[in-house]
């Protein structure tokens, strides 16, 4: 048996290329031709022209895999292979994925469909696919060693089962999964209900994306697969803001967003301007009695959530992970806090040694969004997104839900920035207001529930330094 | 005893007048009984000119001293190049002038050896009853006369030896000056870079202080940054000390004092030559050129002829020739000459001959040793030179540009807030240290070049080049 070390050693791009070349053309001839996607853009929904009809989803910065019908069986062909994924404009990552992209294409089927999935391995090591959340024969569950042998490089395996229950699912490898998932191998699976379902409403727009995270050193391209928690790129479908497309909807559309979490931490996904209901989980549609309005849904590791809302408020609404570090792009985690530090004199001294040096961070990190400074090659600026009012100061897991009255049905194209009706934008206060009556407490605060026993020997005096002026003086 | 030309001529000198003529002609034939116009300095001058392209001047008068001072003053008035430094040392080093005086001392001895000993005259008057005997004698060390051409040759050779030795000191002084010059210059450059390192450390210490002041750093973090500063200050103090002591070493070789010591050195060491010297037959060149090898060969030849001399003169050195004139009041004056000869009854001179042979063999071995050492030294000097070249080039082409690239990339990372300013400053220190290490490598190359130049013409003083160790600091400054 090969050790992991040995496997990793051989699993470079070269061996992958060798493996790719060794896939038998004769064997491939009988398979559905693999459809390869070369662009990271959001593709329009794939309206089914064969098989049972359904209302297709839109995969954020992704696409749906076409199929062929073969004697009533839906046949898909997934090719596991190294890919180059553009995570944001100007920043490309060397990932592993399916059919040219990471994540792989979304697979959409209808409840009761018999599905046959050909999986060709063009990697340098064994792989397999686990159909996350599906009811299926045990031998189709894709756990290498437990349910099946791994798919060797250059070989094609077939999975076949009936999509028994409607819902939101994922697929990902279950062979060397730590490496293969860290490298971006994953995809979405949606089983639409056959006909009307009491718990599944018809919606006008149905979006889906996977939460994933990578640790790619700025200037490098390959994720560090050993990173466990300290990732520096937090992405939706392997895209980081401003590389993530907006979720464009028509005013009063019923909207569904399906999110799956394949990172190693939970993500409180937060929508502005609307409340949504959690209408589905990994287990399928939720009973109506359990549904409650939320503006944030915490999506735990390995979980799926389906949130429905009525887009009844026009505008450009932020939609993001509420862990604020997850709305950043690559940044140093050991950078000292410079807030309030006076750089006068020192800055000049440093500039003598390092001519390109510039003071940053003494007022906060937002400076970053305003300065255009050269960065290492192939990395994403920390907070490069710019809105109609200037820098958004966001990156990573951040997008915008655009609700527009004049958006056409089925039109997902970006309508541009929201035109605010007059008097509906926050404005600078310039006038004077009469002194308001202020509440005055007439009882003194209590002593606290537990008085502290040991007090500091002397009072530590903490001074707050308020920022004065800009970058003057250096 | 083989017949000697001088002793064959001796009977012909029956009359004092004729004898005197012979003596004078012998003195003239000896040829080295007078002072040369240059005192033997021309050879030294020629060596300096041919091997170094430099002038030497023997300060024998106040006028000489003045012209030397004038020339030295001119050379010291502008930043000193290495050639200027060598020139100043050759003109101004008092130790070298003292060596030049050796020429005078030896030449005087040579001349002395060429002069005939004064003849002796004895006069005696004695009476026996009425008879008074007056005895007059003129005597002269004949052996000295006989041996004079030989002694003259020996002394001339000794003079040659001294000339060689003085020429050697000219060359060693030049080599030592070159080495001291590069060492002092590099030390000055190092001080400049250490000041920059300290500046970076100053900046981080000051920033850390302000960070603590506003509550962004705790005492530990501040102390850590401050320790970089403390180390940098120490390094700077060491570098400054090295600069002062290396400069003083150069000052001593240049023989300058007072206001002259304020001479300036250039900003930078000379650049590395585009390619190193290729010397495939370096050993042959050295054997042909090296003064010590030539000297050893000459010494062997000289002892060989000395040996011959000893063999031929082992009986005659006690030969004494005298002119005699005895007069008596009763008898006609007696005239004639007398010769005294030691009978080689007990001492056949064999011991002296054996000693001379042993000395000769000794010289042969010394000559062989000198040649073997010369080959080895020149090989060592050449490999030292080549590797110093490769190391300096590696520093220049690889290490420094790499560190520069790292520094540039780190600025980009700083721009992206991927690293902090302290990391940036630590990296700046490392980069500066790498530049300094490159300077030291360049210095070592020039020293190796001086050693090689010396090894090709004389015995070099090969020493492993040592400089202030920056590597530890560079590693310590890591993040």
Asked whether A16 and A82 are in contact (CB, 8 A), the reply is yes
CA distance B244 to B184: 8
Residues B227, B298: one domain? no
Q: How do strand A205-214 and strand A58-59 relate by DSSP bridges? A: parallel
pLDDT tens digits, residue range A321-374?
999 999 988 888 888 888 888 888 888 888 888 888 888 777 776 666 666 778
- Give the pTM: 0.75
Out of A14-18, A470-474, B306-310, least confident range: A14-18
pLDDT tens digits, residue range A364-415?
766 666 667 788 888 877 666 789 998 888 889 999 999 999 999 999 999 9
Residues B218, B307: one domain? no
Q: Which of A418-422, B52-56, B152-156 has the highest mean pLDDT?
A: A418-422
- The partner residue sitting opposite A382, judged by closest CB among B202, B412, B417, is B417
Residues B240, B380: one domain? no
Residue B290 resides in a domain: yes
CB contact under 8 A, A376 and B196: no
Interchain CB contact of B6 with A (< 8 Å)? no
Higher pLDDT, B223 or B343: B223
CA distance B39 to B107: 7
Under the banding of pLDDT at 50, 70 and 90, the label for residue A235 is very high
Q: Which helix (H) or strand (E) is B163 found in, with range?
A: helix B142-213
Residue B344 resides in a domain: no
CA distance B368 to B293: 9
Asked whether B2 and B312 are in contact (CB, 8 A), the reply is yes
| Interacting residues of B307 by C-beta distance below 8 A, sequence separation 6+ | B353, B356, B357, B359, B360
| Interacting residues of B348 by C-beta distance below 8 A, sequence separation 6+ | B314
Residue B403 resides in a domain: yes
Domain that holds residue B91: 38-118+145-266
**A→B interface, C-beta within 8 Å:** 218-219, 330-332, 334-343, 345-346, 349-350, 352-354, 356-358, 360-361, 365, 368, 371, 373-376, 379, 381-382, 462-463, 465
Residues B258, B380: one domain? no
Residue B169 resides in a domain: yes
Out of A125-134, B346-355, B446-455, B460-469, least confident range: B460-469
Under the banding of pLDDT at 50, 70 and 90, the label for residue B21 is low
Please tell me the distance in Å from A34's CA to the nearest CA on chain B: 40
Q: How many CB atoms lie within 10 A of CB B264?
A: 11
Smallest CA-to-CA distance from A467 within A350, A359, A378 is with A359
Smallest CA-to-CA distance from B238 within B474, B469, B7, B415 is with B469
Q: Is A279 helix (H, G, I), strand (E, B) or coil?
A: strand
Asked whether A122 and A19 are in contact (CB, 8 A), the reply is yes
Residues B275, B364: one domain? yes
Higher pLDDT, A230 or B22: A230
Instruction: Tell me which chain A residue has its CA closest to the CA of residue B409.
Output: A376
Q: Is A452 helix (H, G, I), strand (E, B) or coil?
A: coil
Per the prediction, chain A carries an average pLDDT of 87
Interchain CB contact of B465 with A (< 8 Å)? no
Query: Where does a domain end: B211, B242, B266?
Result: B266
Q: Is A375 helix (H, G, I), strand (E, B) or coil?
A: coil
Residues 432-461 of B with CB under 8 A from A: 432
Q: Which of A3-7, A199-203, A351-355, A462-466 has the highest mean pLDDT?
A: A199-203
Alpha helix stretches (DSSP H) within B77-141: 82-92, 94-114
Q: Which two tokens stand for residue B391?
A: 């190391």
Average pLDDT for B163-183: 92
Average pLDDT for B441-448: 95
CA distance B287 to B296: 11
Residues B362, B309: one domain? yes
Average pLDDT for B270-281: 92
CA distance B41 to B106: 12
pLDDT higher than threshold 50 for residue A14: no
pLDDT higher than threshold 60 for residue B31: no
Residues B297, B225: one domain? no
Under the banding of pLDDT at 50, 70 and 90, the label for residue B19 is low
Mutation for B interface: A341, A364, A395, most B CBs within 10 A? A341
Q: Which of A86-90, A101-105, B414-418 has the highest mean pLDDT?
A: A101-105
CATH code: domain of residue B387: 1.20.1600.10
Instruction: Tell me which chain A residue has its CA closest to the CA of residue B208.
Output: A341
Q: Which residues of B touch A336 (CB under 8 A)?
A: 211, 216-217, 221, 420-422
Asked whether B39 and B110 are in contact (CB, 8 A), the reply is no
CB contact under 8 A, A354 and B199: no
Asked whether B124 and B135 are in contact (CB, 8 A), the reply is yes
- The partner residue sitting opposite A462, judged by closest CB among B210, B215, B409, is B215
- The partner residue sitting opposite B417, judged by closest CB among A352, A368, A463, is A368
Instruction: Tell me which chain B residue has its CA closest to the CA of residue A379.
Output: B416
Out of A139-148, A165-174, B349-358, B392-401, least confident range: B349-358
Residue B331 resides in a domain: no
CA distance B432 to B420: 19
- Between A and B, how many CB-CB pairs are < 8 A? 109
In the block, which residue shows the tokens 């490392």?
B430
pLDDT tens digits, residue range B159-171?
888 888 898 899 9
CB contact under 8 A, A335 and B419: yes
Residue B23 resides in a domain: no
Q: Is B477 helix (H, G, I), strand (E, B) or coil?
A: coil
Residues B48, B108: one domain? yes
Query: Where does a domain end: B228, B250, B266?
Result: B266
Interchain CB contact of B18 with A (< 8 Å)? no
Asked whether A238 and A212 are in contact (CB, 8 A), the reply is yes
Report percent pLDDT > 90 for chain A: 65
CB contact under 8 A, A376 and B216: no
Smallest CA-to-CA distance from B270 within B50, B83, B468 is with B83
Interchain CB contact of B404 with A (< 8 Å)? no
Q: Which of B124-133, B300-309, B388-397 has the highest mean pLDDT?
A: B388-397
CB contact under 8 A, B420 and A349: no
CB contact under 8 A, B411 and A356: yes
Asked whether B183 and B440 are in contact (CB, 8 A), the reply is no
CA distance A155 to A24: 8
User: What number is the ipTM of this complex?
Assistant: 0.77
Q: Is A230 helix (H, G, I), strand (E, B) or coil?
A: coil
What is the reported pLDDT for A385?
Answer: 77
CB contact under 8 A, A353 and B425: yes
B185, HSE (Cβ side, Cα atoms, 13 Å): 26
Residues B278, B217: one domain? no
CA distance A1 to A369: 51
Under the banding of pLDDT at 50, 70 and 90, the label for residue A438 is confident
CB contact under 8 A, B418 and A336: no
Q: Which residues of B touch A218 (CB under 8 A)?
A: 412-413, 416, 418
pLDDT higher than threshold 80 for residue A199: yes
pLDDT tens digits, residue range B77-119?
999 999 999 999 999 999 999 989 888 888 888 888 777 777 7
What is the reported pLDDT for B24?
Answer: 54
Instruction: Tell me which chain B residue has its CA closest to the CA of residue A354.
Output: B428
Mutation for A interface: B192, B421, B429, most A CBs within 10 A? B421
Residues B149, B278: one domain? no
Residues B105, B232: one domain? yes
Q: Is the peptide bond before A242 cis (omega within 30 degrees of 0)?
A: yes
Residue B332 resides in a domain: no
Asked whether A401 and A271 are in contact (CB, 8 A), the reply is yes
pLDDT higher than threshold 80 for residue A6: no
CA distance B180 to B184: 6
CA distance B477 to B231: 9
Q: Which residues of B touch A395 (CB under 8 A)?
A: none
Out of A245-249, A470-474, B145-149, B214-218, least confident range: A470-474
Residue B320 resides in a domain: no
Residues B183, B166: one domain? yes
- The partner residue sitting opposite B211, judged by closest CB among A341, A350, A353, is A341
Please tell me the distance in Å from A223's CA to the nearest CA on chain B: 16
Q: Is the peptide bond before A127 cis (omega within 30 degrees of 0)?
A: no
Per the prediction, chain B carries an average pLDDT of 81
Instruction: Tell me which chain B residue has its CA closest to the CA of residue A374.
Output: B412
What is the reported pLDDT for B345?
Answer: 66
CB contact under 8 A, B420 and A360: no
Asked whether B374 and B288 are in contact (CB, 8 A), the reply is no
Q: How many CB atoms lie within 10 A of CB A121?
A: 28
Tally of structural domains, chain B: 2
CA distance B455 to B172: 10
Please tell me the distance in Å from B436's CA to the nearest CA on chain A: 14
What is the sign of the dihedral through the CA atoms of B216, B221, B223 and B227?
negative
Instruction: Tell me which chain A residue has its CA closest to the CA of residue B427.
Output: A354
What is the reported pLDDT for B343?
Answer: 60
Interchain CB contact of B207 with A (< 8 Å)? yes
Residue A145 gets the label, from left (phi > 0), alpha (psi -120 to 50) or beta, of left
């Amino acid at each position: 048996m090969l050790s992991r070390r040995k496997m990793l050693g051989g699993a470079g791009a070269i061996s992958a290329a060798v493996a790719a070349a060794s896939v038998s053309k004769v064997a491939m001839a009988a398979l559905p031709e693999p459809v390869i996607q070369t662009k990271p853009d959001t593709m329009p929904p794939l309206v089914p022209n064969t098989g049972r009809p359904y209302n297709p989803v839109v995969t954020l910065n992704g696409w749906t895999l076409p199929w062929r019908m073969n004697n009533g069986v839906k046949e898909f062909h997934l090719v596991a292979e190294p890919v180059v994924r553009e995570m944001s404009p100007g920043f490309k990552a060397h990932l592993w994925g399916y059919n040219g992209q990471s994540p792989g294409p979304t697979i959409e089927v209808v409840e009761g469909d018999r599905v046959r999935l050909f999986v060709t391995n063009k990697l340098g090591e064994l792989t397999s696919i686990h159909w996350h959340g599906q009811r299926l024969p045990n031998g189709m569950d894709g756990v290498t060693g437990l349910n099946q042998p791994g798919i060797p490089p250059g070989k094609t395996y077939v999975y076949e089962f009936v999509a028994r229950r409607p819902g939101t699912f994922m697929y990902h490898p279950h062979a060397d999964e730590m490496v293969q998932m860290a490298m971006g191998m994953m995809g979405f699976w949606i089983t639409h209900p056959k006909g009307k379902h009491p718990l599944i409403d018809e919606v006008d727009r149905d979006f889906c994306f996977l939460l994933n995270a990578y640790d790619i050193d700025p200037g490098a391209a390959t994720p560090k697969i050993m990173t466990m928690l300290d990732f520096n790129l937090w992405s939706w479908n392997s895209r980081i803001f401003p590389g993530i497309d907006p979720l464009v909807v028509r005013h009063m559309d019923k909207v569904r967003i399906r999110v799956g979490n394949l990172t190693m931490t939970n993500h409180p996904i937060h929508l502005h301007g609307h409340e949504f209901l959690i209408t589905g989980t990994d287990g399928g549609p939720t009973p109506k009695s359990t549904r409650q309005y939320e503006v944030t849904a915490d999506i735990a590791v390995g979980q799926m959530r389906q949130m429905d809302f009525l887009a009844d408020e026009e505008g450009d609404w932020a939609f993001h992970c509420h862990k604020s570090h997850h709305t950043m792009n690559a940044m140093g985690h050991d950078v000292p806090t410079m807030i309030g530090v006076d750089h006068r004199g020192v800055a000049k001294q440093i500039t003598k040694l390092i001519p390109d040096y510039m003071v940053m961070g003494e007022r906060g990190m937002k400076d970053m969004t305003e300065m255009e400074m050269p960065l290492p090659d192939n990395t994403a600026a920390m907070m490069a997104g710019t809105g109609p009012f200037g820098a958004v100061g966001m990156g990573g897991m951040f997008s915008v839900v655009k609700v527009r009255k004049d958006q056409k049905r089925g039109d997902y194209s970006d309508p541009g920035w929201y035109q605010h009706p007059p008097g509906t934008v926050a404005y600078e206060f310039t006038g004077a207001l009469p002194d308001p009556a202020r509440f005055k407490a007439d009882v003194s605060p209590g002593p606290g529930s537990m008085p502290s026993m040991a007090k500091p020997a002397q009072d530590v005096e903490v001074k707050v330094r308020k920022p004065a002026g800009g970058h003057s003086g250096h | 005893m083989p017949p000697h030309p001088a002793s064959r001529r001796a009977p012909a000198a029956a009359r004092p007048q004729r004898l005197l003529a012979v003596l004078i002609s012998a003195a003239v034939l000896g040829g080295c009984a007078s002072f040369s116009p240059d005192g033997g300095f021309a050879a030294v001058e020629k060596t300096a000119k041919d091997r170094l392209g430099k002038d030497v001047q023997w300060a024998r008068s106040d006028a000489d001293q003045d012209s030397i001072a004038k020339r030295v003053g001119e050379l010291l008035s502008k930043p000193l190049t290495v050639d200027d430094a060598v020139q100043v040392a050759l003109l101004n080093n008092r130790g070298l002038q003292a060596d030049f005086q050796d020429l005078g001392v030896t030449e005087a001895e040579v001349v002395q050896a060429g002069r005939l000993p004064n003849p002796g005259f004895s006069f005696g008057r004695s009476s026996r009853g009425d008879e008074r005997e007056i005895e007059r004698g003129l005597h002269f060390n004949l052996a000295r006369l006989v041996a004079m051409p030989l002694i003259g040759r020996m002394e001339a050779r000794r003079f040659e030896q001294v000339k060689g030795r003085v020429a050697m000191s000219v060359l060693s002084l030049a080599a030592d000056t070159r080495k001291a010059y590069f060492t002092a210059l590099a030390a000055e450059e190092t001080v400049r870079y250490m000041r920059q390192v300290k500046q970076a450390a100053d900046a981080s210490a000051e920033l850390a202080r302000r960070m603590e002041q506003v509550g962004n750093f705790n005492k530990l973090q501040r102390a850590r940054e401050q320790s970089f500063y403390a180390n940098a200050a120490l390094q700077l103090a060491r570098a400054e000390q090295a600069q002062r002591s290396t400069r003083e070493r150069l000052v001593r070789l240049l023989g300058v004092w007072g206001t002259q010591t304020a001479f300036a050195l250039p900003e930078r060491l000379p650049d590395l030559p585009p390619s190193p010297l290729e010397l495939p037959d370096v050993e042959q060149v050295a054997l042909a050129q090296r003064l010590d090898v030539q000297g050893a060969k000459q010494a062997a030849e000289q002892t060989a002829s000395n040996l011959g001399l000893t063999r031929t003169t082992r009986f005659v050195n006690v030969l004494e020739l005298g002119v005699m004139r005895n007069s008596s009041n009763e008898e006609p004056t007696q005239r004639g000459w007398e010769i005294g000869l030691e009978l080689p009854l007990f001492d056949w001179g064999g011991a002296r001959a054996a000693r001379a042979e042993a000395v000769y063999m000794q010289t042969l071995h010394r000559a062989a040793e000198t040649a073997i050492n010369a080959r080895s030294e020149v090989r060592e000097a050449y490999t030292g030179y080549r590797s110093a070249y490769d190391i300096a080039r590696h520093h220049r082409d690889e290490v420094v540009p790499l560190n520069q690239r790292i520094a540039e990339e780190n600025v980009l990372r700083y721009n992206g807030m991927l690293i902090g300013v302290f990391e940036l400053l630590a990296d700046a220190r490392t980069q500066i240290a790498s530049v300094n290490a490159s300077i030291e490598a360049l210095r070592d190359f020039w020293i190796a070049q001086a050693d090689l130049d010396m090894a090709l013409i004389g015995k070099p003083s090969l020493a492993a080049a040592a400089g202030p160790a920056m590597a530890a600091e560079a590693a310590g400054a890591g993040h």
